[in-house]
Amino acid sequence: MSVADRPPRVVAVAGGVGGARMVAGLHRVLDEGMLTVIVNTGDDFTHWGLHISPDLDTVMYTLAGLAPEERGWGIEGDTFEVLAESKRRGGDPWFQLGDRDLVTHLRRTNALAAGSSLTEATAAICRELGITRPILPMSDEPCPTVIVTTDDKSMAFQDWLVRERGAPLVARVQSGSSASATAKVLGALAEADLVVLCPSNPYVSIDPIRSLDGVAQWLRDKAVVAVSPLVGGKAVKGPLASMVSSIDRMEPSAQWVAKHYDGFLDGLVVHPGDRFECAIPLLETDILIQKPQDRVRLARELLEFARSRL
């Protein structure tokens, strides 16, 4: 049986909000056992002594139906009693931690302290949240993404994005290059029929995964389709557009996405009007997927596109 005759085994490579929404669509469309999600952990950081994995959390909350439709972080309807008390005691409230959200960070930190790997801790949290598809952190080792600004300051990604509100211009992004992908991540890539690069920020969500030993080779060997994180030259959410200008001195566009992923991309999904002259197959369709029904539609179209063209 060729790949074309059966539903493909899909690996989704994802970062924050856009990635989580694409994953939610694939999750609805693909049968049990056919989807594995590899999630960026380059944004992980420690706050209040807790291990916080923003991208894992966003993916898990989205799949569990807990994520707000609009806001790109945390749990819908969460309260902020702990944060309010921390403020009353003079704490710096730069990072918004909700009360329900906090349970995730407590569980993770506690599991890690007890000797679990991040992969195991994530699986335990997924079970509690009723998530049945494997959500794999890219690595069990710390691999912090560092933002280097145009005035040559280095800072952790969350410090740049949240504390500094993404204002300082970025000269380059350094991924934590000495960390290894987990055996589960490499195993999932080895078994994949199709790898989907979700509409996440290539610099800070996808590249940290690509940069891990062994991952780039699998991306070259496998059918890879990316969904553009840019619509009409603008990022749907987050700081990507200004990063393209300041890092690559290029116009942010679908063309830039194709160039950035040059050498291993087998298909690219772009928004209507973003089509351009290109050697690889393009699918031009609405890639705005804030609403759940659009996530499902895009997932179906993407899988159909991959099946017919690759």
Question: Which residues make up the interface to its own copies (CB under 8 A)?
Answer: 48-50, 79, 81-82, 85-86, 89-91, 99-100, 102-103, 106-107, 109-110, 113-114, 128-129
Which C-beta is closer to its own copies: that of 94 or that of 276?
94
Which C-beta is closer to its own copies: that of 109 or that of 246?
109
**Residues ≥6 apart with Cβ < 8 Å to 123:** 134, 135
Which C-beta is closer to its own copies: that of 82 or that of 146?
82
Query: Minimal distance in Å, beta carbon 155 to its own copies?
Result: 20
Query: Minimal distance in Å, beta carbon 125 to its own copies?
Result: 8
Query: Minimal distance in Å, beta carbon 76 to its own copies?
Result: 13
**Residues ≥6 apart with Cβ < 8 Å to 278:** 255, 258, 268
Query: Minimal distance in Å, beta carbon 100 to its own copies?
Result: 4
Query: Minimal distance in Å, beta carbon 129 to its own copies?
Result: 7
Which C-beta is closer to its own copies: that of 110 or that of 117?
110
Query: Minimal distance in Å, beta carbon 191 to its own copies?
Result: 30
Can you say whether the dihedral through the CA atoms of 225, 231, 232, 233 is positive or negative? negative
Which C-beta is closer to its own copies: that of 120 or that of 284?
120
Which C-beta is closer to its own copies: that of 64 or that of 216?
64
